[in-house]
């Protein structure tokens, strides 16, 4: 059996920046250190298994026994990514319990969910599903089927949370424990914008049938796995939508000067979650939470323009997240105001996608067309709209028999 790959954070990412690890990875490492402490082992470094299967070594700041169990701390390292939680001390306290199911609790500095729309039920600790899975896996690795009450906290977490969207999301008392991959990919502004420019130039130079820009993993995986797009044609632009389009426009201008107007530029597909992409409708071209507002208002404005019921428009305005908007627009089986059926939801997301595509095309007018594919977080397709007929007629959401290339 092949041993799992080891992720070395000392090796820079492709853009030359240092990766970090998420609050979810920090909590997982602290949990593992605490459980090892219960077994008489003090670890200065622990290996945790990331969701992708790689091993990551994480330093342990402190670990000790308590009257009821064990306690450990890890300093969260966000790498070169601008992150409010970088350097925060994440701690975990474990207590053996009779219940066969691990329970999660918010310690001081970790928030509690008080409003729907988050992927964690109201009343529970703000520990997202990804980190919960990592915590369970680490506990099983060390302790087998023993069950524990796991309390996760953060030193000064309530103060740190004021610099995040948690108050707006209805998460009170501290930060959230987050992370889908366990790793923070470096997206610091100047350096990442420079790296995006390089990626864009390489992609244009490869002369693909179409280019794909994506904010993150959702669109990247769709381009790779469903469409079979060559890796060089996919640019993961992160939060820097405007910078990526400006770099693309400049690269296309240079290509036109060299090749002449007879060589057509490739069309652009932008694929991802509307929580990022709809922000451009607010004029936010850097979609990092520190530099942009929330996307729900843009969705609500589109719904109002389509003359959706007033109660639904107000609910969209009041939603805590775009995922809550997805639920509101999913159809009459969802809780909340009368949506009038799933057709209304499809109409709204189609209009959002068209508006986003038009905004993006306006920023890079040398493109023959821009296509926008929107997905929910669970991968469900929401919309697929284009500014032109520059793309094949095959629907993007149906994998092609030949591997799905554009």
> Rounded CA gap, 321 and 116, in Å?
9
> Rounded CA gap, 184 and 19, in Å?
6
pLDDT > 90 in the chain, percent? 59
Please report the pLDDT score of residue 34 as a whole number.
98
Please state at what angle helix 189-205 crosses helix 241-259, rounded to 10 degrees.
30
Cα torsion through 215, 219, 223, 226, rounded to 10: 180
> Rounded CA gap, 154 and 57, in Å?
20
Asked whether residue 193 carries a pLDDT value surpassing 80, the answer given is no
Average pLDDT for the chain: 87
Please report the pLDDT score of residue 294 as a whole number.
85
Please report the pLDDT score of residue 265 as a whole number.
87
Cα separation values, 94 from 31, 73, 105, 110, 351, Å = 7, 12, 10, 15, 48
Using a cut of 0.85, tell me whether the model's pTM lies above it. no
pLDDT > 70 in the chain, percent? 89
Please report the pLDDT score of residue 314 as a whole number.
95
Burial class of 45 by CB neighbour count within 10 A (0 to 12, 13 to 18, 19+) = exposed
For the ranges 5-19, 38-52, 272-286, 349-363, the lowest mean pLDDT is seen at 5-19
pLDDT in tens, 328-363: 998 654 444 444 456 888 999 999 999 999 999 999
For residue 24, report the phi and psi dihedrals to the nearest 5 degrees: -65, -40
Asked whether residue 327 carries a pLDDT value surpassing 70, the answer given is yes
Asked whether residue 90 carries a pLDDT value surpassing 50, the answer given is yes
Highest mean pLDDT among 70-84, 216-230, 386-400: 70-84
Model confidence at 404, pLDDT cuts 50, 70, 90, reads very low
Q: For residues 405 and 277, which has the higher predicted lDDT (pLDDT)?
A: 277
Please report the pLDDT score of residue 338 as a whole number.
44
Nearest Cα residue to 26 out of 136, 156, 135, 186: 135
pLDDT in tens, 240-294: 899 899 999 999 998 888 887 777 888 999 999 999 999 999 999 988 777 778 8
Please report the pLDDT score of residue 341 as a whole number.
55
> Rounded CA gap, 153 and 39, in Å?
22
% helix, strand, coil for the chain, step of 5: 35, 20, 45
* Domains of the chain from N-terminus onward: 6-184 (3.30.2110.10), 189-386 (no CATH)
Which residues on neighbouring strands pair with residue 148, listed in sequence order? 96
Instruction: Give the length of the chain.
Output: 406
Q: For residues 406 and 110, which has the higher predicted lDDT (pLDDT)?
A: 110
> What average pLDDT does range 228-245 have in this prediction?
88
């Amino acid at each position: 059996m092949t041993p799992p790959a080891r992720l070395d954070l000392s090796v820079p990412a492709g853009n030359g920046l240092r990766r970090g690890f998420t609050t979810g990875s920090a909590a997982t490492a602290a949990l593992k250190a605490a459980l090892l402490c219960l077994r008489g082992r003090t670890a200065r470094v622990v290996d945790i298994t990331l969701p992708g299967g790689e091993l990551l070594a994480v330093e342990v700041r402190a670990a000790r026994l308590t009257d009821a169990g064990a306690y450990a701390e890890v300093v969260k390292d966000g790498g070169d990514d601008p992150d409010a939680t970088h350097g925060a001390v994440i701690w975990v306290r474990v207590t053996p319990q009779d219940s066969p199911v691990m329970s999660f609790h918010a310690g001081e500095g970790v928030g509690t969910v008080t409003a729907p729309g988050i992927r964690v039920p109201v009343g529970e600790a703000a520990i997202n599903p990804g980190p919960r899975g990592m915590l369970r896996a680490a506990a099983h690795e060390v302790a087998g089927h023993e069950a524990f009450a796991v309390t996760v906290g953060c030193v000064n977490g309530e103060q740190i949370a004021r610099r995040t969207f948690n108050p707006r999301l209805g998460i009170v008392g501290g930060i959230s424990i987050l992370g889908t991959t366990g790793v923070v990919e470096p997206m610091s502004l100047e350096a990442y914008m420079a790296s995006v420019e390089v990626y864009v130039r390489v992609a244009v130079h490869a002369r693909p049938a179409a280019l794909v820009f994506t904010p993150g993993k959702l669109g990247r995986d769709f381009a790779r796995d469903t469409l079979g797009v060559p890796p060089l044609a996919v640019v993961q632009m992160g939060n820097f939508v405007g910078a990526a389009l400006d770099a693309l426009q400049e690269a296309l201008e240079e290509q036109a000067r060299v090749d002449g107007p007879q060589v057509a530029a490739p069309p652009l597909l932008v694929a991802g979650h509307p929580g990022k992409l709809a922000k451009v409708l607010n004029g936010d071209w850097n979609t990092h939470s520190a530099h942009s507002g929330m996307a729900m208002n843009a969705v609500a404005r589109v719904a109002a323009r389509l003359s959706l019921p007033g109660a639904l428009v107000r609910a969209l305005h009041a939603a805590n997240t775009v995922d809550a908007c997805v639920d509101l627009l999913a159809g009459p089986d969802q809780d909340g105001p009368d949506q009038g059926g799933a057709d209304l939801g499809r109409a709204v997301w189609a209009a959002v996608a068209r508006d986003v595509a038009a905004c993006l095309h306006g920023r890079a007018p040398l493109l023959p067309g821009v296509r926008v594919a929107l997905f929910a977080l669970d991968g469900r397709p929401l919309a697929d709209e284009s500014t032109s007929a520059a793309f094949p007629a095959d629907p993007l959401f149906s994998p092609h028999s030949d591997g799905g290339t554009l």
